[in-house]
Structure 1
Amino acid sequence: MNMPGDRRQRLRQSTTLNGIDFIRVDKTQTKLEVHFLNQEPGVALLQNSVKEPRITGGDAIPTVPVLPGLQWSTTPEGFPVLELHVSAPGDFSQYTLSLSSTLLDPFFSRATFSFKAHCESRLDCEQPPEDCALEQPPPPPIDYLAKDFHSFRKALSDFSALRYPEWQERSEADFGVMFLESLSSIADDLSYLQDRIAAEASLDTATQRRSLVRHARLVDYEPRPAMASQGWLWLQLREGKSGQLPAGLPVSALGPDGERIDFETGRGLEDTQSYPVDSRWNPGKLIPYAWDDSERCLPAGATDMWIQGDGLGLFEGQWLLIDTEPRTGGNESLRALVQLTGIQKSSDPLVDDTKLTRITWRAEDALARDHDLTRTQVIGNLVPVTQGRRFRESFIVEGVPSGSRQSALVRTGPNDTLQILFPLAQAPLAWRPSSEDPNSPPRPELRVIRQDEDPPEPWTWQRSLLDAGSFETVFTVDPIRYRPVGIRHPDGTVSMDYDGDGETLRFGDGVFGEMPDEGAVFQVTYRTSVGAAGNVAADSITLFEPNGPLGEWATQASNPFATEGGADAESAESVRRLAPEAFRARRLNAVRPEDYDAAAESLPWVQRAGTVVRHTGSWHTVFTAVDPLGSESLRPEQHLELANLLGRRRIAGHEVYASAPRYVSLDLEVLVCARPDAFQGDVEEAVLEALSNKRLRNGRTGFFHVDRFTFGTPLERSVLEKEIQRAHGVAGVHHIRFRRRGFTSGFVTLSNTLTVGTDEILRVDNNPSRPERGSIKVIVEGGK
């Protein structure tokens, strides 16, 4: 096939056809010289044959008219030259000059030129040759469902059969097949990575712990880690032994599956104090004393008792266990934990001047049940105990590991920054509630110290390094695990790769937290936890090494109460369900009355709150009254705490006023019929006891106990009659009448439901010394 260059050569050899060679434009841009390729046909023939020259192809000026009067001439070599004139030059476009003549070759009867050929330009004026692209074959069909090695291999095999039909070899040893399978393997890895990234990008589909934590933190929700349980331990000290028992001594219990569950004395890794112990406080040494046989029962609500002896070494703030053995056939002993507030020495002059000690404890530790002093013992040597096992590791940053010292993991982080990581060998890490604020997220049982400093420098745990300054020596804990991949480098370090959930220390990058120096040596001390399995039953923590650290002090140990607080790490399903709604769980403002009630009831000592909003003349005032748990009055510190809480959450323009509850005191008159075999006095006593405001000997509370009625709680006649009917010797209730003190003077029949206001609480104390707090009169008919 002949190309355009061949046509030009063939035209030069022709004597019957001519064609345009090039066009020259003068500086005025109005004169054009058209030069031809051949000498023949010459001017004599061309001037009679060439007609209607046309200049077209402009942008702003599409056509440039040619002036009449064509002028012909020849070059010194004898080539024809046609001179054309235009009235005005064209624009900067490429124009095409077309000549109509039978003596001109159809292809070379036209030529392109520019009127601006003499304008200054640094560009190459020669047009690049046209490159005709090869026709692309149709794309092969793509199997978009290919997601694993075998489907990718089949897709590539089908593609090669269509694109390279001459390649027929399918032996596994063939280079092409090996290359095909290598590509399929890479595609399989990339497909898995693509699926994993897509899954971890959403809270609903994420499975990795670190992804769940990061998603939850975006909405200020902190997933619960593995929490360590806590409890108390009493020790049977060796005879004559006393001193300060250090924290961190190991002790253990047996789990349901026979595995040992490790505990340590103290309140965790941060606890460095010692606890006073003395063999004089062993079980059986602190003997309760009753001044008279009528006082052999330590009643519910008691906050003091007497103990034989006066050289006991007891002190204020000490914790004691009051343990009452069960009666014959009982299930478990009755135990109470109290903290001493006072020790008073005395003696009994009537019984050989017996030395005695009176101990008192806090009001919040008041006994909840009656204790029989004949079966009660007082036990000291109580120390706190926390579930977990202690480990210690050491590592160096970008250095050569030696002995037990490992090398930190250095990875490339965002923006080519370095990440200094150290994965903990044991998991799960134990976490405990913050000692400063119980409502704040827990803290890890972890201590990091840089050892190559003098003195050694402790580094601080930070929940998020985004809150750290560039020079703060802090670290955080990521829920990630790295494992060795089996490649050991010449310097002794081992390559590690991501391996799911675990615990890894991550240090700062120099912008958010200080980056450790190269060669820095750190020691990590941490404790692990078994989570919910650490909530063991009472009398389970009894195992320790007789020749171990604790064995030097004690011969026996046990936990008087079940340990509590242990919890497994929050499940993925729980995080997905709670994280999006967590911001609604705890409101930090109050608008409606029920918002103020909820804020007040968040205090642990508030049973219930009642709020009323009134306009007091110039502004709205919010009156919030609270019902304290186990009491009818507010202590000054409680009143201040409530006022500060409501003041922080009130709406702008409203004043808050925290007040004591409004009590509705009732006087009741109850007429009952006694059974024939019951004494009237016994029936009256039983009814008064059933309707009292005290805690009864059987552990139940009286009908009008302070915690039974709260704001807005009505008095149901049917419930009241049921309680009276259950009293000893009552055959029936004839009628119940009442009057409200301060409102009515006469008694009226009690209706089915006696309602009170939302800020009012019913009260019937039946205390003769305080008649304004309500009274009960029981009239008994029948009986004997």
Structure 2
Amino acid sequence: MTTTCQTVCKDERRRRDVRKAPLFGLDFAEPSDDQRTLVVWFLGRAPQQIEMANLTLTGGRRIRDIAIVGLQVHRQTDLTLDDFMEVAVDKPGDFSVYVLSVVAVDDHGNPTSSPMAGFDPRYASVDVEFKAACPTGLDCKVPHTCPPPMRAQPEINYLAKDYASFRQLILDRLALIMPRWQETHVPDLEITLIELLAYVGDYLSYYQDAVATEAYLGTARQRISVRRHVRLTDYAMHEGCNARAWITVTTDTFEPIDAGGIEFITSFPGVPNRTLLTHADLEPVPPADYDVFLPLLPGSGTIDLFIDHSEIRFYAWGDCECCLAPGTTSATLIDRWVPPPATDAAEAATTAATTVAGDPPGTMRVLQLKPGDVLILEEVIGPKTGNPADADPAHRQAVRLTKVTPAIDPLYHQGDYPGTPVVDIEWDPDDALTFPLCISVKAPPPDCNCLENVSVAYGNVVLVDNGASQSEVLGTVGTASTAPRCAGDCEPAGITIVAEPFTPVLSKSPLSFGVPLPACASATALLSQDPTQALPLISLTAIPAAPVCPELADPAPPCSIPPLFTFDDLADPTGLAYRLVTQTDINTRELLSRLSTATRQALAGYTGGSPLPPALKADLIADLSAQLETWQPRYDLLESGPDDRVFVVEMDDDGDGHLRFGDGRLGRLPDAGTMFRADYRTGNGPAGNVGAGTIRYLVLENETLSGVTVTVGNPMAATGGTAPEPVANVKRFAPYAFRDVIERAIIADDYAALAADNARRHTERPACSGPFLPLQGANAVLRWTGSWLTALTALDPLGREDAPPSLIEEVAAYLEPYRRIGHDLLVSAAEYIAIDLALTVCVLPGYLRAHVEVALLDVFSNRVLADGSLGFFHPDRLTFGTGLMVSSIVAAAQAVPGVQNVKVSRLERWELVEPAPGESLSDEVPPGSVLTLGPLEIARLDNDPNFPENGRLTLVMRGGR
């Protein structure tokens, strides 16, 4: 069988030219459903005279000699449509390709091999496929390719994997093709080339093995490979977190400070004997000798320091031996009235805001607290001894104010002013006191007076996090190739620019990671960080690329696209200004067109021979800064768009940060010629968890505070510094992590688990939506309502028995995205079941019955006891479906000193049944000595005589005295 070669063309320009020329041609043919009629389309018009004798149908492998039995030509009246003809055949063809031709006839009416007169010789025939309309899942277009020439494959030993085997393989091959060459001396040029190729082969073989090793999670050894693998299972491998701390600043003057120009550092050997330092003081000191902390401000970038905020005293309203109990979220601070100083207009506006109704005329208040400020409550004097050295260092806590209300105490007077100015403050419930904080105590003998100011509040509090500022120019995105582009149907001619892969590595480490500050968060939430949500503290500033290569005559490599300007031009644009005036190339003219009109006019008057005028320099720098692009970090690029300026930082095993950009689909691909600068922080992990009182120095970059006394310190230790997650732990936990994350509620337990996940609900709740109310637990059941299942979800709030409507609405909105299709969702508060409990207690001789009864009332209360333990019926001890066992009740009562024995005489659900006069309540204990509850029920016994429907405790005391 012979094979005929044919010319294969992807751009069939002749087809378009035939339509325009006075020639005929066939375009394509398609069979009918019964495969007995062929619809053949012409390239434009059909000839006036065409008969069946002019048509021939050849080809076929199994079915041959198909005869044409009919012809009908259809001429279109619409000149924009092509003519076509219907050709009838006597039988369908097979699956091979047939050829329908339009040929001339001889004098006897027989067809010839020549095309019909007027037909283009290339389009006088058309391929016909009778089975083209048969159903198939494949592409109907037949690819036309030019296959490469057949080459003889040499015998290769694929077991060669190292340098020695590759060297021997090449020598054996050369011995076969060059038998006369037998030189083996090392300095020989051929031997040098052989060893060089063997080295390259050994390197590529190692690279191939490394790729195979890093292709699987079980065998991967590099941290970057493991991170990418586990991301496919939704496991967030973290790189740790930097530490955060609260700093208090004590000052003797009002002084606003720019937060971007200061640093807080720890001590180091040879530190000067002053609190305020400059960068000149740190130049001879190795950076490893001290830790740097920078301000974290959720709002403005200015820190306002107030004299009277350095130490604020609590107000006890004239009482003594006062304390703030654990769980407190409010207090009262004492304020002062002072005459307003002669200030400028700006400060006068500030002081006017602190004046409230009822204040004496011509006075102002010194405390300028506002919601959002943070105070640190600290015990400064030992409550028992009155000695400052005995103050408990654990009694320190930061609180963020949510409400500030100035008030006046009319009973006591402050100096010559009537009354005492005070400030009522409230703070976030998440910052509720975790310990009792004493305000005033009675001094020990012999003084025995009221000792005040045992605890104070510190203002001028700044949130800082660990990490020093770094900045470096990463370089310019290279140009892989630049080639002219031909004009097409949809785009004009131009130059195709392909950028090189740009994967810079940060020169300094360790890179800081931190969680973005949450909005409207408490002081506790501002310190807490989830390492899996941490992002690298880095941003990139990019200078756009110039439009063309400087070498316009030869756009092929090594032509490289430059940036529009450089970062040195931002510091000193004198040289750039001269180039803009001369307009030496097209790229400079492009930059000039992007400047503002005022700057271009100012440049027109600049000759270049004199220093750049300050006004022109400032305007030029401002215009250049407006051209800069900012790129932000992301954990991954899976949800990024093609125009998003984002990137990913991947940490290797040495702690170096590798930057990875998008590919044009998931994240923007940097253009060739773009110049990048990285501004980032270094300092990460547990090394930043410095102790209390170690951050003691303030470093000023640009500002000066002359004649000002400033003292800084961290009353509490820095926390949150976390080490990067070990690779071994990632390999152990990542394959099973997806099982721990519920993405859809299928069964009732899923609804309960999702509702009880306080951390997840806190993360997904809308920002600034009010105080967060955690849940002690939740339970859910699926019940048939007649048409479908309803997920009844009950909530058990932490530390309380009532679930406010806002909590129910919040949980319902939180669960809605996880609801299974076909399920209704109904969220409600738990059903609290009032318990009627009666105990008969026999008291030991020598004990007072009243004392034992009081102790039993405490044990079976719903309060927090004096020793910090919870009462038996405290809301946090009981949850859904927790039955009450007689044995546990007896054990709790028997543990009270003075109790000889206990009998549970009644344990049942409380019912609104009043006994008749002269009768008593019947005693009843459930069978099995266990009072069972339903899955959405919680036991409740408040023992409040005003509300007996919330549970009742009856004690029958006998014995004792």
Q: What TM-score does the superposition give when structure 2 sets the normalisation length? A: 0.57
Kindly report which structure 2 residues correspond to 1:627-776, keeping only aligned pairs within 5 A, or say none.
627-674=796-843, 676=845, 678-727=847-896, 729-730=898-899, 732-735=901-904, 737-742=906-911, 746-749=922-925, 752-776=929-953
Does 2:742 match 1:573? no
Query: Retained in 1: the 8 A contact 2:294–2:464?
Result: yes
Instruction: State the Cα deviation string for residues 646-703 of structure 1 (Å, max 9, x = none).
Output: 3222222221111110001213333444455544333322332233222234333323
Query: Does the residue aligned with 2:852 lie in a helix, a strand or coil?
Result: helix
Are positions 1:525 and 2:679 aligned together? Answer: yes
Matched residues in 2 for 1:194 and 1:501: separation? 25
User: How many residue pairs were aligned?
Assistant: 615
Equivalent positions of 1:258-407 (< 5 A) are 260-266=290-296, 273-283=301-311, 285-293=312-320, 296-310=322-336, 311=365, 312-325=367-380, 332-340=393-401, 341-347=403-409, 349=411, 353-374=419-440, 375-395=454-474, 406-407=475-476
Q: Secondary structure at the match of 2:247?
A: strand
Report how far residue 587 of structure 1 moved: 2.0
Give yes or no for contact 1:300–1:370 (8 Å, CA) kept in 2: yes
Q: Distance in 1 between matches of 2:628 and 2:213?
A: 41
User: Which residue of the partner structure matches residue 777 of structure 1?
Assistant: 954
Inter-partner Cα distance in structure 2 for 1:686 and 1:238: 52
Which residue does 1:34 correspond to in 2? none
1:595-627 deviation per Cα after TM superposition (whole angstroms, max 9, x unaligned) = 111121123512211112222233322211111
Compared CA separation, residues 755 and 511, structure 1 to 2 (3 A):
closer
Equivalent position of 2:502 in the other structure: 420
Please say if residues 228 and 530 of structure 1, whose CA atoms lie closer than 8 Å, have aligned partners that are also in contact: yes
Looking at structure 1, the residues matched to 912 and 646 of structure 2 have their Cα atoms a distance apart, in angstroms, of 66
What is the CA deviation profile of residues 743-777 of structure 1, one whole-angstrom value per residue up to 9, with x for unaligned ones?
88644347654332111111122233332222333
Deviation at 1:250, TM superposition (A): 1.9
Alpha-carbon contact 1:390-1:526 (below 8 Å) kept: yes
Question: 1:430 and 2:460 equivalent?
Answer: no
Secondary structure (helix, strand or coil) at the match of 1:643 reads helix
Q: Distance in 1 between the 2:189 and 2:422 partners?
A: 98
Q: 1:665 to 1:177 in 2, by over 3 A?
A: same
Structure with the largest fraction of strand: 1
- What amino acid maps onto 2:214 in structure 1? E
> 1:393 & 1:551 partners in 2: Cα distance?
30
Is residue 251 from structure 1 mapped to residue 264 from structure 2 by the alignment? yes
* AA at the equivalent of 2:510: P
Larger Cα-atom Rg = 1
Residue aligned with 1:429, SS? coil
Partner-residue secondary structure (3-state), 2:211: helix
Relative to structure 1, the CA distance from residue 246 to residue 768 in structure 2 (aligned partners, 3 Å threshold; closer, same or farther) is farther
Query: Greater CA deviation, 209-218 or 439-448?
Result: 439-448
Tell me the percent identity. Answer: 31
Superposed, 1:218-229 pairs within 5 Å as: 218-229=232-243
CA deviation vs aligned residue, 1:686-740 (integer Å, no higher than 9, x gap): 3322332222343333232221211122334444444434445545545464332
Q: Following TM superposition, by how much is the alpha carbon of 1:570 offset from its aligned partner in structure 2, in angstroms? A: 2.6
User: Do 2:692 and 2:717's aligned partners in 1 also have CA atoms closer than 8 Å?
Assistant: yes
Shift of 1:466: 6.2
Amino acid paired to 1:476: F
Contact 1:249 1:550 in 2 (8 A): no
Taking the aligned partners of 2:841 and 2:391, their CA distance within structure 1 comes to 36
Partner residue in 2 for 1:448: 540
Contact 2:886 2:904 survives alignment (8 Å): no
Decide whether aligned partners of structure 1 residues 261 and 718 sit closer, same or farther in structure 2, where only a CA change above 3 A counts. Answer: farther
Question: Post-superposition shift, 1:172?
Answer: 4.2
- Give deviations 1:245-295, integer Å, cap 9, x for gaps: 62673223579x99533321215xx86533443221223x424425323x6
Distance 1:547 1:766, change over 3 A: farther
What do the CA deviations read for 1:367-392 (whole angstroms, capped 9, x no partner)? 33322212322222222122222112
Aligned letter for 2:501? Q
| Secondary structure at the counterpart of residue 313 of structure 2 | coil
Contact 1:226–1:428 (CA<8 Å) still a contact in 2? no
Distance 1:361 1:335, change over 3 A: same
Unaligned 5+ segments in structure 2 are: 1-151, 269-286, 337-364, 441-453, 483-496, 520-528, 544-564, 566-623, 763-773, 914-920
Q: How many Å apart are 1:428 and its aligned residue?
A: 3.3
Matching of residues 177-192 of structure 1 within 5 Å: 178-192=192-206
Q: Distance in 2 between matches of 1:500 and 1:307?
A: 52
1:447-466 equivalences under 5 Å are: 447-450=539-542, 453-461=624-632, 463=634, 464=636
Shift in Å, 1:161: 9.8
Residues 262/370 of structure 1: CA separation in 2 closer, same or farther (3 Å cut): same
1:485-634 to structure 2, matched below 5 A, reads: 502-507=656-661, 513-514=667-668, 516=670, 520-545=674-699, 555-602=710-757, 603-604=761-762, 605-634=774-803
Instruction: Determine if contact 1:339/1:362 at 8 Å carries over to the other structure.
Output: yes
Q: CA deviation at 1:164?
A: 9.7
TM-score (norm: length of structure 1):
0.68
Q: Is the 8 A contact 1:467 1:512 kept in 2?
A: yes
Name the SS of the counterpart of 1:658 in structure 2. strand
Q: 1:736 to 1:449 in 2, by over 3 A?
A: farther
> Cα 1:667–1:467, aligned 2, differ >3 Å: closer, same or farther?
closer
Shift of 1:426: 1.9
> Counterpart of 1:419 in 2: which secondary structure?
coil
Q: Report the Cα distance in structure 2 between the residues aligned to 1:546 and 1:446, rounded to whole angstroms.
A: 22
Give the aligned residue type for 2:829: A
Q: Is the 8 A contact 2:513 2:537 kept in 1?
A: yes
Cα pair 1:346 1:358 within 8 Å, conserved: no
Cα separation, 2, equivalents of 1:258 and 1:462? 27
Distance 2:648 2:942 in 1: 56
Unaligned runs of 5+ in 1: 1-135, 396-405, 482-498
- Conserved in 2, the CA contact under 8 Å of 1:342 and 1:359? yes
Residue 185 of structure 1 aligns with an amino acid whose one-letter code is Y
Q: Quick one: distance in 2 between partners of 1:299 and 1:213?
A: 47
What CA distance in whole angstroms lies between the structure 1 residues aligned with 2:709 and 2:738?
49
Sort the Cα spacing of 1:165 and 1:514 in 2 relative to 1 into closer, same or farther, 3 A. closer
Higher mean alpha-carbon deviation, 381-390 vs 362-371, is at 362-371
Trace 1:105-116 onto structure 2 (pairs within 5 A). none
Once the two structures are TM-superposed, the CA of residue 199 in structure 1 deviates from its matched residue by 0.8
